[in-house]
Structure 1
């Protein structure tokens, strides 16, 4: 069984055309040259012949096909208790296996005592999901109702979406960097010139597909054009015509009707799904069979995995993708997917969902779906999950605008073009009555609403939009910070613990203070024994004091459970060269790491103030401290 780093090493070598040095590999994998040599020896022991060969030029794979089979034939060894939890959850909730506790120990190379320790840690870490891990007649089980199990499964699938399925660095490894840069700039220029917003996920998806088409044409593998009669035909968008012409001129290629149709559908599926969300408009560009098929797939995925793919941001692109997939099946030709290995390795759960979908489609189309096409299905699913995670950090916005002289479409596009990284437009309405039951963070309206007094309603006139951008930007910043404060307020009870609150402790320097807090955390089961060293490693790199406040913390979010120990010192504790009066040690679990940035910003804002010393003098107990935090978060 290979470790995660050994898998990464093989994957990196698969992408190299020539021998590369140990120094290069060590730099790319962020490990030492000695570790590279050790990993090479371990990997070579997996086969009868050498898998990685070395020379004075460096390392290369003896046979790439052997390396690929080795990667896909091995599962990586989970190296932390959270990774082991994810493996167990997958076995029980996805594969529906009965898991023997001793067999599990053998598989992940841990002792039975470590497993018992893991069980205790899992039950602390996953307590909020209302599940309990236990052993029952030597079997490992997850005790919970079906709703809680589904939420837990949804959680780990969304966590997997943190592995960037697609970014510019990945494309550089698959195609010429020059080609990727030129095509990316050309694509971005076309959208900017036409003032059209496209989010990062859709942009990267479109860029990948254009690279595939371009690569195919440049290699002389253009598909012959055979229009499919039962697929709706649509007049091409002027933007797409201009884009095709620019790509042809830039890269000296000629697209046939098939490629142009492919690019047209690609653009329609990635640009502003809200603008084509009416039933009338959808019926013109998407075959109703594909829409029905997508709805069935969305329902099946939700019922089996608890993942909600019912938004237009998924349904429209996926339905159009099914259109093109059906066309490729009829023509008997399929697109190669250069991301196949990456997706299978980095996102096995998302790929598993894609296999589930492909088996359903195989029955519908009476045609086995190739692996490359399964990877495209995974790309759509994973991209939607990434988009949903990104939208969680944005303000939920409703646009209230009468559909007069195309104002709605123009304003929608302008808002996203300028503020797409800050707002997620969840609804577009013409009348207030349409949104009375909707929850939102900000309502942007073109209708004066003086009779409603609310801080989250913003009026602008669509005729002179640019006059409002600076004021709206300030409004959005204030609302985003207010939202972060509400998120921290909701978790306040779990973040601070009276048993980890101390006033005027006897220690007089930061090392003793940090050691004292880490010892308390260890005694109460929040961290492991190495936590003090981790915090001091970060502190030694750069002092964490801010005037009267110090916030020491570890670089990694690997606590068993999230908590923030607090020290209040009325006389002050010397930190670097001057005294601090408030010390917070954010101790964050892997499950909560995505909230750390927002938490850190809010906490700093509460204590990083000029009169902090005077405030500290009023705090003598945990209740005083809690009341101070609560009152400031409520303002």
Structure 2
């Protein structure tokens, strides 16, 4: 086993990742000269007692694929795992020997890596594994489950490594980085500012670089259009006074505004056109990241705002050619390969957007923003549950298995308690209490009482409770309805008269074409759409509407629809394009209306607002 220095390991990893790369480019990445890189490569080859790294004239250095050299490098294992995972996610299956050859490792080393990857996956979802069939490797599981694997590894990166600020003390020779960190933590506590660990790290580094540049005689100039909230500016001024008590530092108005932006975590709406352009750019790239890496950060508003702030400052640094150094870059590149790779992807898009070239230090700050987003994502999907069960041990294994996976959530079952131990719930501070029977005592935590023994419907309700989607459910479906398409206390002789009227309303609003009634009636001839329980959901045999909409009609007196009484009608307008939310709501509607009591309550509503409120109510 060959022992290399940290810098030599970094050189080897860079060459492996780039496949072929010049000494000058490696030098730029490691902030050393080309001569130093060439000397290090000579030293590596000397330790390997062979030409492990070879030079290709006119191109650069590459790994000699004809040699198998065992290097003691745990960090290299992390990068290799990422490359294996990326290949498996991008292809249906992959040849074991071809993959080993492309990574310059033996088949046995690859299989050890696969074993390690499976252990990481198993902790989060025992139903997904990398499987070998003869010489082919495949990641099993549904597409939904496969897409969660990338997120698992982002979580793993954060869990497995902690930054020690002592390692970066030499970079800031003019002040003590740890004192700055403690000052920030005390200030956050005093003013009730909540930051997650990675957000604290990012904030410390941004402030540290700012102080270092000021002490060296450089000024941070914020764009003229940057306007900050007065309360955030007052916070920045207060923090600046604390800094002055510690360091002989003088900040300009522009620098205080920059500090206020860091505290705010948001941007002003002063220059709407500029901000909308940056916001649209960020959202577009986050969608591309979702498509390429299967990591969904598109709804993280805090990340979007943070990246907007970063891009505002970056635009200014580009104009003044004053890019930021980042002392964390080596550790970020080594220990967070997936997040660093995502940052590279984002940086390439930034370079195209601003027509510039970013230094690696700037890319490191992007990674810190993504790390914060992943930490927030982790807190969203990791949920703690306490179960109240009167049945005893016999059913506990079933409960654990049933709740082990609730969509994308990572469920931790803290305890399964009997009905007599309800007072113990407080010990676990759960996100939700799930009970298999009514709870006789009042509890201070959200709870859900199962209708059956953890049926599929129960699982869906538990998911809604854990994700707070229940309170947002009305907002999510509102755009499928229209006040002008809500009719109550109506009188019709029969279904044909009713359908003729409703289809006419859809056409008037431009949601359907003139032949819509004909297609709806054609569907009724095949089989009536009255489902019992006083409701009907008519729709065409094929999706042909202009826009997805639902027309609601509540009747004063029921009509006979085939052989069933109907008092509430939902006329669906469906477009050809697939809409998962609409499809999901259709299923949900049929399920809800199976409950005759629910239908009777809906029939009594007189406005769309009342209807939607009742519709999402349990």
**Which TM-score band (shorter chain)?**
0.3 to 0.5
Task: Choose 1 or 2 for highest CA Rg.
Answer: 2
Q: TM-score, normalised by structure 2?
A: 0.46
TM-score norm. by structure 1 comes to 0.45
